[in-house]
Each structure stands twice: as C-alpha cells, then as structure tokens.
Chains A and B, each alone.
Chain A
Amino acid sequence: MRVSLTVNGRHRTADDVWEGESLLYVLRERLGLPGSKNACEQGECGSCTVYLDGLPVCACLVAAGQAESREVRTVEGLAGDGRLDPVQEAFTECGAVQCGFCTPGLVVQAHDLLNRTPRPTDAQIREALAGNLCRCTGYEKILDAVRLAATRKAATP
C-alpha cells in the first residue's frame, strides 16, 4: 500500500509499504530518518518516540496505515535554523548521553514535557520520562539536562 504523511513539515510518500510495517520502520527504512531508534519493539523503552499529530507516541506500535495523512515530527525535526533545540543542547552539555540509543526518544519526550510544563518539578520530570528506559542508567545526567533545558527555555522568551 501507499502511505502519505507529513514528516517534519514536508509531505512524504512511501510506496509498496507492507501492512505489517510500523511507522518506525517506514521512517527509518523508507524515508531515511534513522533518528528514532528500534529497540524493544513493545512500547516499553520509548526509544522510538515521535510526535504524531502533536503528541508523543511509540512509533514501533503504530501500524503504517494508522499514520496515513497524519503529521509526524521526529527527533530530526526538532533543531531549527542550524541550531539545536535547547533540549538537545542541554543533553550534550550535561553528558546525558552514554551509548545514545535511548537519547532521541528521551529528547522528544522531554521536548513535549517542557512545551506543556515549562517549569517541571523533579517528580514531574520523572513521571513524564517513565516510558523511556536508559539501559546505561544515565538518569541523573538526563534529569540534569531536562532541568537545564527548562531554565534556558524560561530565560529565552
């Protein structure tokens, strides 16, 4: 089947998509966007988190057909004007990256948190990121990064 959707602001079409493919597969293998990672494939680790119509979801559990005519924003679509998003900057500065596999999902999920809750408490950060697992257990630095990004975003209107 053919799947047409908007990805990072551009209209994209993938042909000969098998019904059993996931949105994650379509993004990575057909549309050349390998940022979202394929890890648990069961919705448990959050490494494949992308925005679907403005809400973060696990792309591994979205059947390709469900994404038809919808709007997707991946980690590749967060940076603008040659500049990283404050969340991405904070992750690199704080060393919130170890093996890096969970990072794209965490960045998207943290990006969504800060859009909805600009000054989150630690408890809110933990709860918002509960669906993103870091196997290197680098959570302390990840929390540092989200706090830093929140402070930076609050300072720049």
Chain B
Amino acid sequence: MRPFTYERPADVRSAVAAAAGRPDAAYLGGGTNLVDLMRLGVATPRTLVDVTRISSRAIEETGGGLLIGAGVRNGDLAADPLVRRAQPLLARAVLEGASGQIRNMATVAGNLLQRTRCPYFQDVTKPCNKRLPGSGCPARTGDHRNLAILGHSEHCVATHPSDMAVALAALDALVHVEGPGGARTVPMPGLHRLPGDEPDRDTVLAPGELITAVEVPHLPFAARSRYRKVRDRASFAFAVVSVAAALDVAGGVVRDCRIALGGVAHAPWRAEAAEAALRGAAATPEEFARAADAELARSSPLPRNAFKAPLLRNVLVRTLTDLAEPAGFAESEPVETP
C-alpha cells in the first residue's frame, strides 16, 4: 500500500477544503471498498480524508420524502422502520448486498461510489482503461461473464456493482453534494456515467465533491415494489442481474411504473423503454414480456455474457407479474433477517 496521510476534519466545510485542489486525496467512508482497493494497489491516494464522523447518520422524513444522511450505515438503512415502511424496495436492495459485517461498516455515500468488480480492474498486473486510461480493455475479449450488456463502449464493459444504487435509480433519488464550488444536487439515474471514451470516470462528480445526503421522493405506489437479484449463490454475491421495480395497477391496466436494472451496465440502468411500453398497457405477462423486449432491443451482449439477456427478461417479467398479483407478491417475499 502506498504511504498516505490520514485526516479527520472537524466538519463538512473543512473536509471539502482538505480535498480541494488535491486530485490525490480521497474521502474515506466505511472503507470496505477503498481500503481493499488501496491494499490491492488499485487506489493510491496520498491523503485520506475520513468523513465518517462528520457525515450525517440521520434518516428524516421531509415533506416530499426521505432524507438519508451520507454516513448512514447500510445495515441501519435497511433496518430503519421509516425506510421499510416508506421505501421497502430500497431497504430490500440494501439487505441483498454484501454481508452483515460489511453492511455494518459501509456508508450510503461509499456504497454509491464503490468501484466496479471487473477482475482486470482489480488486478494491477493487467491493463485496464478504467484504472490506467489508454492501456486497453482485456475484458472485451477475456472474462466478461459478469460484465455489461447495455450501454458499454469499446473502451470499457464494466458494470456498477451496487444494489442500493439500482433501487435509488428506480426511485428518482437526488444526491446532495457539497464541493469546492458550492452545494448542488445530482439526480439518479444520472450520477453514474456510461463509460464512453472516459471509462476512468465512474460518475459526474467533480474532484473533491463530497456526498452529504440522498433524498428519496415519496412514491405513492411504493408498497407495490420489489428488488429481485440473481446471483451465483444464495447470498453474499454481487448481482448477475437484478431488477428494481414498482408498479401501479388499476383495473388491470398499468397506470405508472418504475424500473431499474442492475448488473448489466456501467451505471444503474433505468429501463425507460420498458417503462414507456408499460404505461397504459394491460398488466399481463404478455405485455410485461413486450416491455422487457423493448428494453433489451437496446442491448449488445458480449460472447460470454449473452445469457444475461434472456435471464434479465425472465427476471423482469416474473417480478412484474408478481407485483401485478397481490397473492403471488406476498408468497414470493424472500427470507427476512433482522
């Protein structure tokens, strides 16, 4: 690990000042991703600005929704009664990620900004455009089984690994940011970029910008929402594909819906084509399949991850079908762990 200095600023303003104009400084949340990447030599900050003690750990109800502090631990977020009642989809997505130990340490901001799990990105002996711009992308022709089928570029086919971000992208969350240039909010989806020809940039955040909170607007049909994740083992694995969906059905017709997909793109993928196909359509498996196909028409799977397209189609159709049928919805509720 490269030597670095460790700073514990007294408040948000001094944290931003500590990182301003220093591209080699990094904010430290729970450290569950950054400490790992530093040990691997993938991240080499000269200064760590520990923000855990100054980041808000509050979850508040505002007029229009929930305001979640950037320092809220993933475990506390998933267990929070307010979140579970108002945004069960979010609580579920967080609970489906990582392990109890990791969720106890990981923060909301760190979860959003965790880096890809592409094996070449994590291996400093390999080329990788994301880690070392211009060095190439061995994943394109190599191991990309778990990488993107949507929105990738010739320069990078990585996926964003966060489950929580998929739920937030479906829920139109707003990310509150404080930076050297002042405060602003960044809408989800929109925080994470597609790789294009700058795969080293995961997000639209400018250097030194600090996430302070995430705002999740109230969704009238949040009670009928679901996060469904497919992974290589029953628990404690990143998504192969995942679906965050909320459905508003009346008289057998889809009035409104929110759909975001995980494990398939460089950013949590808001399924706009599927949503457009569904609004006003009959709430039937046939229409759900038509919507899934509309979304997948935009996909370009790679040789070794082509299985993700039919898998995603099946998971999406099944999730929407469950949501449309109250009985099926209750029955397929996953194991609850406190």
Closest 5 CB pairs of A and B: A131-B99, A130-B235, A55-B104, A130-B236, A127-B337
Whether B297 is near chain A, meaning CB under 8 Å from some CB there, is: no
Looking at the complex, which one of B8, B39, B102, B236 makes contact with A58 (CB distance below 8 Å)?
Answer: B102
Stretch at the interface among A79-87, A116-124, A149-157: A116-124
Interface bracket on B: 20 to 34
Looking at the complex, which one of B28, B36, B75 makes contact with A43 (CB distance below 8 Å)?
Answer: B36
What CA separation (Å) do A146 and B234 show in the bound complex? 20
Taken residue by residue from 152 to 194, chain B's Cβ proximity to chain A (1 for < 8 Å, 0 otherwise) reads as 0000000000000000000000000000000000000000000
Looking at the complex, which one of A41, A58, A63, A117 makes contact with B28 (CB distance below 8 Å)?
Answer: A63
Using a CB–CB distance below 8 Å, which chain A residues touch chain B?
Answer: 1, 18-20, 22, 41-43, 46, 49, 52, 55-58, 61-63, 65-66, 68, 109, 112, 116-117, 123-124, 126-128, 130-132
Set of chain A residues within 8 Å of B337, measured between Cβ atoms:
117, 123-124, 127-128
Whether B98 is near chain A, meaning CB under 8 Å from some CB there, is: yes
Set of chain A residues within 8 Å of B102, measured between Cβ atoms:
43, 57-58, 61, 131
- A130 contacts B338, C-beta separation under 8 Å: no
What CA separation (Å) do A84 and B99 show in the bound complex? 26
Set of chain B residues within 8 Å of A116, measured between Cβ atoms:
338
What CA separation (Å) do A55 and B78 show in the bound complex? 15
- Chain B proximity of A53: nearest CB distance (Å): 9
- B98 contacts A65, C-beta separation under 8 Å: no
Whether B101 is near chain A, meaning CB under 8 Å from some CB there, is: yes
- Chain A proximity of B188: nearest CB distance (Å): 25
Whether B125 is near chain A, meaning CB under 8 Å from some CB there, is: no
